[in-house]
Amino acid sequence: MGAWAIALHGGAGMIAKGKMSADWQKRTEAALNEILDIGIAALENNLTAVEVVELVVRALEDNTLFNAGKGSVLTSKGTVEMEASIMDGRTKDCGAVSGLSTVMHPVSLARLVMDNSPHVYIGFDGAEEFARQQGVETADTETFITEENREKLEMAKKTNSVELDFSEHAPDAMNNSDDEYTYSNGNGIVHAEHHHVVHRENGYGNGHSDNHIFKKKGALHQVFKAEFETVGCTAVDVSGNCAAATSTGGLVNKMTGRIGDTPIIGAGTYANHLCGVSGTGRGEEFIKHTVAKEVAAIMEYKELPLGKAVYKVVHEKLPENMGGLVAVSASGEVAMAFNTPSMFRASAQEGGERMIGIW
Amino acid sequence: MGWAIALQGGAGDISKDLPVARKEAVEACLSHCLRLGVSALQSSHTALDVVELVVKELEANPIFNAGRGSVLTTDGTVEMEACIMDGPTMNCGAVSGLSTVVHPISLARLVMEKTPHIYLAFEGAEDFARQQGLETKEPSYFITKENQERLARAQEKNLVQLDHTEYSTTTSAAHNPVNVEEELNQKILAAADSQKPEFETVGCVAVDVHGSCAAATSTGGFVNKMVGRIGDTPIVGAGNYANHLCAVSATGTGEAIIKATVARDVAAIMEYRKVSLAEAVEEVIGQRLPAGKGGLVAVSATGDVVMALNTTGMYRASMKEGGIEEIGIWH
């Protein structure tokens, strides 16, 4: 108790080591450092954990390098639907929003839902209305849409027409190092070594990414680039209180109205008297496995320390290549883990080390 | 071992002055739905099919706050939500913000089975319903006079309120006009002090002959809720959850249930502390969920059934293989 700690992320993804353009990598590292500094300064100034995580996530939302706020990825209709949630570990109060298209800082609106409404979660039209009522900063939807994300959407739609077969018995269509899938993201060429395809023998399931053949007449067929750029932050303040906040634009080419794990308390965000957790990954898996809550449950019911709980959740419960999370404990520990090739992240502890990382 | 099923029609401050006619209508519906579920289990239907079937039946009955008969938002509209989860695979589906879909629980199942997603809401969900050819009706179909009256009363008092308490207030007025105002004042004060407990939900949990569990929950939400307000019902781990060990459907003050991740907590305590369903439920409802905030029905993969509440009442029914039909309202 008494020592602060902070961990933040800019999303887990499939960026293989050494496959980021030098420029993109440099800019990402600079952003992570800068935003970490914002969080550290706030903690050193005795701001509460809730205030700190909101502040940090706002900064991440502002930065178009990450998929939240400005720079959010687009739905299948080319629109933006942002979501966020925040939780105060001290009281378990929480707030969440979904389906935003004009709100500059979804995480701040989530906080207002928590503080200024009788509810915990407001979505879509109702949330936009609440935003206006509360006088938060809004902007034309166009403001949030970047050229890069338009390209990503086009690319995603193109790959939809290709049926990918990852079954053990079928020829390895995509997972071939001589034929890597590439796209230009405006920052350089990214070579994604494999894609995650949701599939299951009898149709769509939000099933595992094992090698099953996916085909189902009449069902929607989508290929998701496994980029899970959500942003989030968790911190424990000098009073030993934890908080967590997460924000995102969601999945590229998602169906309109699709809600991921980010605004779901217990899935993408969770905080209680023991810890704070913010996740990033394939939202559907985080929801099924109630990932964020799982860390806290293992700590509490199995009486394991933060590090072990985080390891179990990310490496034993969550299917491979599905994501990662950052966590802090009330006693000032930090744990970050991911089962994808990459996760943009940063952390610091009072009187201790600071780090930023990608792989 | 063997099959087991439990269903709920909402927990809350259900007055013992509930008019006989109302009580009988509720009990008849609970019994009817229970029998439907039991019959399906006895015919070896899967737990997933059974919970969907039962919740559809509950949605169809306007006496409960789900599907037709859903309570109204502050704008006088209906915004329904639901969630379904299959224990063995942990596949799940959820929907929110529906206004024309006759069976929200069925749409939730389609999200689970026909899309790469788990949760669809509002316009996107309505679009998907049409795409799937699910039965839809004009919004007015779902709106009952009773709920319009509830909304009017709630707005008069400018409270976010629950239906069961309102009903009993009206009843008291018929029998003893003198105490009405005092009762209303007390209720207003109570509401001002703390969030009024709300319990408008229906749900069903079942374990089939194969030991597979499933849970389904559906609701219209809170009377006079803000447009766009989402409660615990479509939140996997809060109002609805199932895994290899158990299935849980909760009802009560949505916000409290979300904070306490009720449904997941029951399963987590069972799994990590290695205790029985009953013990896990007792801990969650007895200690973790603040008093007066709700209840739940649950079954375990080994055929146990538990129904628990920390409110005055919860409409409920259950039965296990070789057991008898149990219907309840109060403790």
Q: For residues A241 and A44, what is the distance between their CA atoms, to the nearest angstrom? A: 14
Residues in chain B: 331
Q: For residues B71 and B84, what is the distance between their CA atoms, to the nearest angstrom? A: 21
Domain assignment present for A144: no
pTM of the model: 0.86
Which pair of tokens denotes residue B159? 């409270």
* Chain A nearest C-alpha distance from B73 (Å): 11
Compute the count of residue pairs across chains A and B with CB atoms less than 8 Å apart.
170
pLDDT-derived band at A201, boundaries 50, 70, 90 = very low
**Residue A31, domain extent:** 5-90+229-357
Q: For residues B152 and B29, what is the distance between their CA atoms, to the nearest angstrom? A: 27
Q: How far is CA B259 from CA A30, A116, B280, in A?
A: 36, 16, 17
Q: What is the model's pLDDT at position A148? A: 86
Q: Which of residues 7-46 of B touch A (CB under 8 A)?
A: none
Domain assignment present for A135: no
For A131-169, write each residue's pLDDT tens digit: 999 999 999 999 999 898 898 889 888 876 333 322 223
Return the CATH superfamily for domain B4-139+198-324: (Glycosyl)asparaginase (3.60.20.30)
Domain assignment present for A172: no
pLDDT-derived band at A190, boundaries 50, 70, 90 = very low
Q: For residues B53 and B76, what is the distance between their CA atoms, to the nearest angstrom? A: 29
Residue A252, pLDDT above cutoff 80 = yes
Question: With pLDDT > 90 as the criterion, what percentage of chain A qualifies?
Answer: 67
Q: Lowest mean pLDDT of A225-234, A275-284, B62-71, name the range.
A: A225-234
For B33-70, write each residue's pLDDT tens digit: 999 999 999 999 999 999 999 999 999 999 999 999 99
Q: Taking CB atoms and an 8 Å cutoff, what residues of chain A touch B127? A: 256-257
Specify whether the CB–CB gap between B199 and B311 falls below 8 A.
yes
Q: Taking CB atoms and an 8 Å cutoff, what residues of chain B touch A257? A: 120-125, 127-128
Residue from A199, A288, A294, A313 whose CB has the most chain B CBs within 10 Å, to mutate: A288
Tell me, yes or no, if A297 comes closer than 8 A to chain B by beta carbon.
Answer: yes
* Chain A nearest C-alpha distance from B115 (Å): 6
The catalytic position among B46, B100, B201, B217 is B201
Average pLDDT over residues B241-251: 98
Domain assignment present for A190: no
Q: What is the model's pLDDT at position B1? A: 72
Q: Which of A129, A258, A265 sits opposite B120 (nearest CB)?
A: A258
Tell me, yes or no, if B134 comes closer than 8 A to chain A by beta carbon.
Answer: no
Tell me, yes or no, if A284 comes closer than 8 A to chain B by beta carbon.
Answer: yes
Average pLDDT over residues B260-272: 98
Residue from A259, A273, A308, A322 whose CB has the most chain B CBs within 10 Å, to mutate: A259
Residue from B73, B119, B245 whose CB has the most chain A CBs within 10 Å, to mutate: B119
Q: What is the model's pLDDT at position A80? A: 93
Domain assignment present for A25: yes
Domain assignment present for A107: no
For B146-184, write each residue's pLDDT tens digit: 899 989 988 887 755 544 443 333 333 344 444 555 555
Average pLDDT over residues B98-111: 98
Q: What is the model's pLDDT at position A206? A: 43
pLDDT-derived band at B187, boundaries 50, 70, 90 = low
Top pLDDT among B203 and B189 is at B203
pLDDT-derived band at A227, boundaries 50, 70, 90 = low
Residue B133 neighbours by CB under 8 Å, 6+ apart: none
Q: What is the model's pLDDT at position A14? A: 86
Q: Which of residues 152-171 of B touch A (CB under 8 A)?
A: 160
Q: What is the model's pLDDT at position A19? A: 83
Taking an 8 Å cut-off on Cβ atoms, the answer to whether B259 and A258 are in contact is no
Question: With pLDDT > 70 as the criterion, what percentage of chain A qualifies?
Answer: 81
User: Cβ atoms within 10 A of the Cβ of B35, count?
Assistant: 14
ipTM of the complex: 0.87
Q: What is the model's pLDDT at position B186? A: 52
Q: Lowest mean pLDDT of A133-142, B16-25, B284-293, name the range.
A: B16-25
Q: Which 3 state secondary structure label does DSSP give B203?
A: strand
Please state the domain count of chain A. 1
pLDDT-derived band at B125, boundaries 50, 70, 90 = very high
Active site residues of A: 230
For the ranges A71-75, A105-109, A185-189, the maximum mean pLDDT occurs at A105-109
Ligand-binding annotation for A354, yes or no, is no
Q: How many helices (H) and strands (E) does chain B have?
A: 10, 13
Taking an 8 Å cut-off on Cβ atoms, the answer to whether B127 and A256 are in contact is yes
Which string of DSSP letters, residue by residue, matches A139-202? --GGGG--HHHHHHHHHHHHHTTSPP---TTS--SS--TTS-EEEE-SSSEEEE---EE---TT
Q: Which of residues 262-321 of B touch A (CB under 8 A)?
A: 264-265, 268-269, 271-273
Residue A266, pLDDT above cutoff 90 = yes
CATH classification of the domain holding A299: 3.60.20.30
Arithmetic mean of pLDDT over chain A: 83
Q: What is the model's pLDDT at position B182? A: 52
Residue ranges covered by each domain of chain B: 4-139+198-324
Taking an 8 Å cut-off on Cβ atoms, the answer to whether A266 and B231 are in contact is no
Top pLDDT among B85 and B180 is at B85
Q: Which of A126, A257, A266 sits opposite B261 (nearest CB)?
A: A266
Q: For residues B294 and A160, what is the distance between their CA atoms, to the nearest angstrom? A: 45
Taking an 8 Å cut-off on Cβ atoms, the answer to whether B226 and A204 are in contact is no
Ligand-binding annotation for A86, yes or no, is no
Q: What is the model's pLDDT at position B128? A: 96
Arithmetic mean of pLDDT over chain B: 89
Q: How far is CA A260 from CA A47, A257, A283, B117, B128, in A?
A: 30, 10, 5, 8, 17
Domain assignment present for A138: no
Ligand-binding annotation for A261, yes or no, is yes
